[in-house]
Structures are given as C-alpha cells and as structure tokens.
Structure 1
C-alpha cells in the first residue's frame, strides 16, 4: 500500500462517513469508493461495513486501521524530527485546550503565532481539562492548556489566573441570593471547577440553591445572565467588558481572599524540544499575565 492509502483509511475511520471523508481528502465520493474497494481487494477482506447510516469497522478492519494509524503516526513523527533540524519553523503544532481558554484567550496567541511563523500548521482540539490531560497521556497532542491545579509530572508553565465572579443584572451583594426568585444558572464543566463552586456555595449558604438551570455551554450561561434570566458564577476570562449593565461580585475564600482559577500549559519534555512547540512557548510568554 502507498502512504496515501494509509491516510485514506485513517480518515475514513475517523469520519465513518464517505461524504465527509471525501471532502477532507479532496476527492469525489465515487473515486473514494473505488479506491476503498481496491484496497479491500488487496487485503482480501472487507474493512468497512456500509449502511445508510454510514460506515462501521469490521473486526478485520479494526486491525488494518490500527496498522494504518501507526504508519501515518510514524511518518508524522519522523517529519517533525527532520523539521526540527532546520532553522525555519515548520511542522504541525498540536494543541489541546480547555474550551473556555480556546474561546477567550488562545485566539490572540494563535494569531500572533501564525503571523510570526507562517510555515507552521496548527491542529487544535478543545474540551474539558480532563479530556486535555487524556490527549496528552495518549500522545495525541504536543501541549495541553488546562484549568485548575494539574496533577502532571512533566513540564508545566503557569499562564495566568483569573478571579471568579457572581454575575447578575440586579444582585448587588452576595447575601441577596437568599431573597431572589431567580434561578442559579450553571454551565457543565470539569469536576474540579464544579467542586470549587460547590465548596464556596456551602461555605456561604449551607444549603442548595432553591432554583437552578444547567446549560451545556458557558456562552449560553452568560447570555442568559445578561438577559436577566438568572445569576451565575463566571470566571473573569469570560468577562471582557462587553457585559454591559451587570453587577460583578468577586467570590472570596475562607480567608477573604479572591477565589481564583489558574491556567497552565503542559507537555512532555520531548514535545518541548520540537521547534514549533518552542516557537509557540515564545509567543505564549508574551501573553502571560
């Protein structure tokens, strides 16, 4: 098999959809289907089952796809090592980033990075901090940007900390929560953030909120607060001055210090030896707070 055929199988296994895979590979669906049939003929077995809902791997296909991914991954690693020998920054920078940071802090950093290193490419995935750590452990990315206190034995760089605020259009003091009829609007987050909020809440009130609404995205939560539907606890990174006429009350810990959330850049030492990662760290240093 040619390397392009291994790439083709890897993309098909990721998408499990002929149309989406054809778009990523810049080929027509009929051409992709013909190439897949030829590959299956070479292997002497069916790799994918076809159905109206899409593709699924056969038991034989799972073994072949694993092999294809290993081949593609090995070539990428060799290319990265070769490119690290050159003076120009090339290669793909693979980043996994906590969603809230990816929406509010990272774009300005990446803008500077691509301006400074136009030959480098970027692969970005976002998710919860627990998902970022998993991607790092499994070698899917070079560096991860997470929130909270990392349990990480590799290299870690502190990026910034931001305070947590109780945000509402009417509530001017934390004690007024007890007399409001509005719901507490919460967004789904990783367990450490949720635990911090719960601990603060119980220190303040020793009881659960009477009414609450849980939404999937922090942006949805923010817009509901800005429209007067309820109140929420939001990190400062999401409050960039565009929130208008809302009150922002800083959360305090048991020692009456502002409750803050840290953001870290993590990675293995081997990743930090790559030129594209070193270049990214240099840019990041300009945006540390």
Structure 2
C-alpha cells in the first residue's frame, strides 16, 4: 500500500480495524477498546468513505471483512508492528534497562514456574514492564513468528530456525496417592487424563503402546492439569505428569517413565527468540536472567 493510503489513518484506526478483525463482532470490539458501539461504527463508516470501499459486511454471525477490508487490516497490522518496534528502539537508546518485555509462555510453565521468575526479574529490573501471553506451546510459536512476543518459553521440541536455549528437562512420572507396587497392573488401575498439548500426548501414548498391549482404564477426563492433580491427591486414580507440576511436599507416590532402551522419558522447556531481539535491553536482560535463574 502506498504512503498516500496510510495518510488518512492514524494509530487508533489501526487498532480499531485489528480488533474488529480479531473479534468479528462490533459490540465485542467496542467493549475491548472501551469505546461506545455507535462511536466505533461511526469511525468505521468514515474509514469506508475515505477509502471509497466497503471494509466489512454485517450478518447474523457478526462481521466479515471484504477482500479490500482484509488488505487494509494487513496494512494496519504492519503499521502497529512498525510503530511498536520504533518505540522499543527509542526506549533502548540509553544505557538504562527499561521498556516493554513481551513474553509468550506455555500454560503449564506459566502456572508452576513463571510467577517466581517474573517476581525476581522485576525486583532486579523495576523499570521493565513485563507483558505475558500464555497458551499451548504451538500457539506461542505462532506468536513468535508473527513477532507479537520477543521471547517464547515452550514445552516440547518444536522447529525454530533462530536462537533456542534448553532451559530445563524434567522426568515424566506416574503419580498416585497409593503406591503402585507392580507396573504391570497399571492398565487395570483407574487413570485420570487431562488436556495437554500434542507433543506431550504423543510422548505418553508412545510410551504406553511400547509398554502395554492393552489400553488404559480411563476413569476421568478433565480439562486442567491442576484439577487432575487434585483428583490424584484425593486417591481417585493415577495420572502421568511432567514433574514440573509436583512439589516436594505433595504426599504422592512417583514412578519415573522409562522407555524400552532403559532411558528416562523427559519433558523439555525451551527459550526461543530472535538474535536481533537482543538489541533491546529488556529482552537481552531477561534472556541472561533466565539462564542464570536456571543455574541458581
């Protein structure tokens, strides 16, 4: 899009268009932006007049962007990213470590490890504003690719063409309130499943298939690992966990998973980022901090 097209739009318009595109609903977009629905509709109509085209069409299921509208949204996204990058570079022109640090973090790591890390990092670097987005590891990779975050902390092995650092590896374990004396009995014992990402699911499924010739006895399917852990602590069944979610004080019996080669099955945590991101003082400081935090 040429410079003349962008001249009629400002930063607020870019954000409005991107939010409507994400929400696909005018009322939800207005709530998210904290502006009235009539004001949002009025600004959208003005943009359509300025461009001389229909940007969105309205229907019972919300709004749909026309091909011209999608093109304008892509421009808006590009301008938001450029402006954010410029602000970050300007903030890093002095020697002080400050600015906004945007991190994408695997949900399970965010739940069990991240709070302590962020607390200590902010204590050392109080002028850094930390923005965290959580989700499945595959979603974090997507955020990195779109440059919506500076660094990603993901679980499992994913293809990433730039910088990656192995932060931690921990064993996968069978956790049960009552000690399991004979592993051959496992298929007949009640198991509690929880929602997890595909890489961990595949790891567990492959281990099971090479260890047993019949499926597990699933007693419960829950959506959160926290809920599953509480069920196990109540003696309602066993579960297979990455040991990141188990604490020393948990009154629980643990058996490490061993594969057919007598090797422990582990779950890895990676720090991913782009080399050029280290030019930002806050990003560089966090990458160094995390590596030192691992050794502490």
TM-score by length of 2: 0.85
2:156 to 121, 145, 148: 148
- Counterpart contact for 1:173–1:249, Cα < 8 Å: no
Pair 1:165 & 2:173 matched: yes
**Residue equivalent to 2:58:** 50
- Secondary structure of the structure 2 residue equivalent to 1:288: helix
- Counterpart contact for 2:278–2:284, Cα < 8 Å: yes
**Residue equivalent to 1:65:** 73
Unaligned runs of 5+ in 2: 1-8
Looking at structure 1, the residues matched to 123 and 92 of structure 2 have their Cα atoms a distance apart, in angstroms, of 19
Looking at structure 2, the residues matched to 178 and 34 of structure 1 have their Cα atoms a distance apart, in angstroms, of 63
* Residue 73 (structure 1) shift: 1.2
1:248 to 246, 251, 254: 254
- Counterpart contact for 1:9–1:65, Cα < 8 Å: yes
Give the count of matched residue pairs.
Answer: 287
**Residue equivalent to 2:271:** 265
Q: Deviations over 1:145-197 (max 9, x none)?
A: 11223433321222122222111222433526347442x22223333322321
The 1:44–1:52 alpha-carbon spacing in structure 2 relative to 1, beyond 3 Å, is same
The 1:15–1:112 alpha-carbon spacing in structure 2 relative to 1, beyond 3 Å, is farther
- Counterpart contact for 1:157–1:264, Cα < 8 Å: yes
**Residue equivalent to 2:108:** 100
Looking at structure 2, the residues matched to 164 and 23 of structure 1 have their Cα atoms a distance apart, in angstroms, of 43
TM-score by length of 1: 0.87
**Residue equivalent to 1:7:** 15
**Residue equivalent to 1:221:** 228
Unaligned runs of 5+ in 1: none
Q: Deviations over 1:95-151 (max 9, x none)?
A: 222111111111211222333334433332222223322332333322111122343
**Residue equivalent to 1:34:** 42
Looking at structure 1, the residues matched to 289 and 28 of structure 2 have their Cα atoms a distance apart, in angstroms, of 34
Aligned-pair Cα RMSD in Å: 2.5
